[in-house]
Amino acid sequence: MDETIEQTYKIGWKSQLVVLTTGAFTGMVFTVQTGLQFHKVKMDTAVGPVVSIAMARELAPVLTALMVAGRVGAAIAAELGTMKVTEQLDAMRSMGTSPVNYLAVPRFVAMLVALPLLTAESVFFGIYSGYLVAVNMLGIDRAYFLENMFKFTAAKDVTSGLIKSVFFAMFIALISCYKGFNAGEGAEGVGRATTQAVVVSSLTVLVANFSLRCCSTPSFPHDSNPRIAQRVQQHGGVARRGLRDPRRGNGRDHRVKAAEAKVCS
């Protein structure tokens, strides 16, 4: 239990600066790019929901997992690899202690606890920094930003990102522990195991993100939010009612032409 708490402190608390900086500046950059492009089509008020949904569903979980994989995954692989090279794992086995139960399980549990919390913090700071940039730099009205963000951002957008982070935590912890326990001999073997842990964990996070997104994507994207589906249906009805046959033209034009012909005759 003490080892799990210590690993949670190392993985979670000591990774906050990296994760929060990444989330905040990602939210800022994404807001600037989205605002500049949406301004061309007069959709400035849509920046809020786009930023919030993108940060909650995709950007914050993936970037947080990549940062943790680079910082914590490398540390786990290096630590376990060094213990194997110096025969500390063999000493633990000779004393009747399982290295997996004593070393791997606390790190696995700590990763499962810490990464979703880090992801939630990244989502919050990413959206908040995007809000500051949108209001102070892009001149978007804060009322429209917040109203549209709360209107079109559902609870499932946030929970889906947190569920992804749980899977990412499992992959990072398992891969890092496996590479550490199977490190080669000498300093070269430890360095190779550390590099492989970071690379394989990062690639697994990217591939798993796409796979999880495909599994959770409905047939029609607008059906995932009932409010959006209702608005799409309403706008579609208005568009259908507003359509005119170009061959018939405007009814008022026909009446004017008929009146002119009657006067001339």
- Cα 140 → chain centroid: 24
- Per the rule left: phi > 0, alpha: psi between -120 and 50, beta: everything else, 186 is left
Q: How far apart are CA 130 and CA 31, in angstroms?
A: 5
Lookup: tokens for 241? 């009612």
Q: Is residue 256 part of a domain?
A: no
Q: Which residue has the higher pLDDT, 81 or 240?
A: 81
For the chain, the domain total comes to 1
State the pLDDT confidence band at 168, using cuts at 50, 70 and 90. Answer: very high
* Model pTM above 0.85: no
pLDDT per residue as tens digits for the range 18-74 = 999 999 999 999 999 999 998 888 888 889 999 999 999 999 999 999 999 999 999
Average pLDDT, rounded, for the chain: 84
The pLDDT, as a whole number, for residue 227 is: 59
Lookup: tokens for 74? 């490398």
Q: Is residue 19 part of a domain?
A: yes
The pLDDT, as a whole number, for residue 258 is: 54
Domain region containing 61: 2-243
Q: Is residue 263 part of a domain?
A: no
Q: Is residue 228 part of a domain?
A: yes
Q: How far apart are CA 206 and CA 208, in angstroms?
A: 6
Q: Is residue 71 part of a domain?
A: yes
Lookup: tokens for 153? 């951002």
Q: Is residue 262 part of a domain?
A: no
Let me know: does 160 contact 36? Beta carbons within 8 Å: no
Q: Is residue 261 part of a domain?
A: no
